[in-house]
């Protein structure tokens, strides 16, 4: 056990110059745990395997717990890469290149905006030409999201009457929109 002490190993490109000193300085005694024989529980690793920019072998001794954490991290990273490959998830929205912004916040062109405005105006004009009951029932069902049963209970009528009223109203709207 590390007895509450945390050890970090920072390796940068400038470490290559200090490789001899690094290999000697890291295994100094920093309160590392000892085994039953009085020696430390150390594992020897090569930094060249962990960092691609190191071109020569740099061997260091690490505590077993730190080496296990590094191994656990490598296993998790490899499992993530395998899941990415299997599920063909090659693209991430978290790349900070604008993909996520474009997906979440669609910007419409002025032409699309104008077409939507005209379509909405035509839709509202067709709704206003309906009888009061059909208008109220279509508005409640499609705009407010109420079910036909809930509309029937609110108006205290049979559900079939609401369903037929909505169907007739939609047919009348379709005929009106075809004429436009």
Q: Is the pLDDT of residue 170 over 60?
A: yes
Q: How much of the chain exceeds pLDDT 90, in percent? A: 38
Convert the pLDDT of each residue in 66-90 to its tens digit: 989 999 999 999 998 898 888 877 6
Q: How many CB atoms lie within 10 A of CB 40?
A: 14
> Which pair of structure tokens corresponds to residue 70?
């590094």
Q: Coil, helix or strand for 145?
A: coil
Q: Is the pLDDT of residue 98 over 70?
A: no
Convert the pLDDT of each residue in 135-155 to its tens digit: 999 999 999 999 999 999 999
Q: Is the pLDDT of residue 20 over 60?
A: no
Dihedral Cα 48, 54, 57, 60, nearest 10 deg = -60
Q: Is the pLDDT of residue 7 over 90?
A: no
Write down the pLDDT at residue 165: 94
* The 3-state secondary structure of 10-73, one letter per residue: CCCHHHHCCHHHHHHHCCCCCCCCECCCCCECEEEEEHHHHCCCCCCCCEEEEEHHHHHHHHHH
* Radius of gyration of the chain, Cα coordinates, nearest whole angstrom: 35
Instruction: Give the pLDDT band of residue 8 (cuts 50, 70, 90).
Output: very low
> Which pair of structure tokens corresponds to residue 162?
């609401």
Write down the pLDDT at residue 18: 37
Q: Coil, helix or strand for 56?
A: coil
Q: How many CB atoms lie within 10 A of CB 58?
A: 22
> Which pair of structure tokens corresponds to residue 81?
């890469």
Q: Coil, helix or strand for 119?
A: helix
């Amino acid at each position: 056990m590390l007895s509450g002490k945390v050890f970090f190993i920072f390796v940068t490109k400038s470490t290559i110059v200090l490789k001899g000193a690094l290999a000697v300085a890291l295994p100094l005694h920093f309160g590392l745990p000892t085994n039953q024989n009085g020696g430390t529980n150390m594992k020897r690793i090569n930094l060249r395997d962990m960092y691609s920019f190191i071109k020569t072998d740099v061997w260091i001794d690490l505590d077993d717990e730190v080496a296990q954490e590094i191994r656990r991290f490598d296993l998790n990273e490899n499992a993530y890469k395998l899941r990415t490959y299997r599920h063909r998830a090659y693209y991430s929205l978290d790349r900070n290149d604008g993909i996520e912004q474009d997906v979440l916040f669609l910007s419409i062109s002025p032409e699309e905006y104008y077409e939507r405005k005209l379509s909405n105006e035509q839709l509202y004009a067709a709704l206003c030409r309906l009888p009061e009951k059909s208008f109220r029932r279509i508005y409640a069902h499609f705009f407010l999201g109420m079910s036909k049963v809930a509309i029937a209970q609110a108006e205290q009528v049979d559900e079939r009457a609401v369903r037929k009223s909505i169907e007739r109203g939609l047919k009348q709207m379709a005929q009106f929109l075809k004429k436009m």
